[in-house]
With several copies, the nearest count.
Chain A
Amino acid sequence: MINNIIYLDNNATTPLDERVLAAMMPYLSERYGNPSSIYSFSQKIKMEIEDARDKVKDIINADEKDKLIFTGGGSESDNLAIKGIAFANMNKGKHIITSSIEHHAVLNTCKYLEKFHGFEITYLPVDEGGIIDIDFLNKSIREDTILITVMYANNETGVIQPIEDIGSIAREKGVVFHTDAVQVAGKLTIDVKKLNVDLLTMSAHKFYGPKGVGALYVKKGTKIHPLIHGGGHEMGLRAGTENTAGIIGLSHAFELSYENIEQEQLREKKMRDRLEKEILNKIPDVIVNGNKDKRLPNTLNVIFKYVEGESILMLLDSEGICVSSGSACTSGSLEPSHVLLAMGRPHELAHGSIRFSFGRFNKEEDVDKVVKVLPGIVKRMRDMSPFGRGKDEFWKT
Chain B
Amino acid sequence: MYSEKVMQHFKNPANWGKIENPDGVGKVGNPVCGDVMYIYIKVENNIIKDVKFETFGCVAAIATSSMATELIIGKTVEEALKITNKAVAEALDGLPPVKMHCSLLAEEGIKAAIEDYMKKQKP
Contacts and interface: CB of A to CB of B under 8 A. Distances in A.
A387 B34 contact: no
Contacts of B37: 386
Contacts of B64: none
Nearest to A46: B1
A311 interface: yes
B38 interface: yes
A292 interface: no
Nearest to B58: A310
Contact of A332 (B1, B11, B16): B1
Interface residues of A, number: 25
Contact of A394 (B16, B17, B56, B62): B56
Contacts of A383: 16-17
B114 interface: no
User: In the complex, which range does the number of interface residues on chain B fall in?
Assistant: 20 to 34
B1 A386 contact: no
Given A384-B16, A384-B62, A43 B35 contact: no
Contacts of A385: 54-56
Given A311-B10, A334-B32, A334-B98, A387 B56 contact: yes
Interface in B36-64: 36-38, 54-59, 61-62
Interface in A205-264: none
A311 B62 contact: yes
Interface string A320-346: 000000000000111010000000000
A25 interface: no
B98 A333 contact: yes
Given A384-B16, A387-B56, 13 more contacts: A306-B56, A307-B56, A311-B10, A311-B57, A314-B10, A332-B1, A332-B96, A333-B98, A334-B98, A336-B33, A351-B34, A384-B62, A387-B36
27 contacts: A46-B1, A306-B56, A307-B56, A308-B56, A308-B57, A310-B58, A311-B62, A314-B7, A314-B10, A315-B11, A332-B96, A334-B32, A334-B98, A336-B33, A347-B34, A348-B34, A351-B33, A351-B35, A384-B13, A384-B54, A385-B54, A385-B56, A386-B36, A386-B37, A386-B54, A386-B55, A391-B54
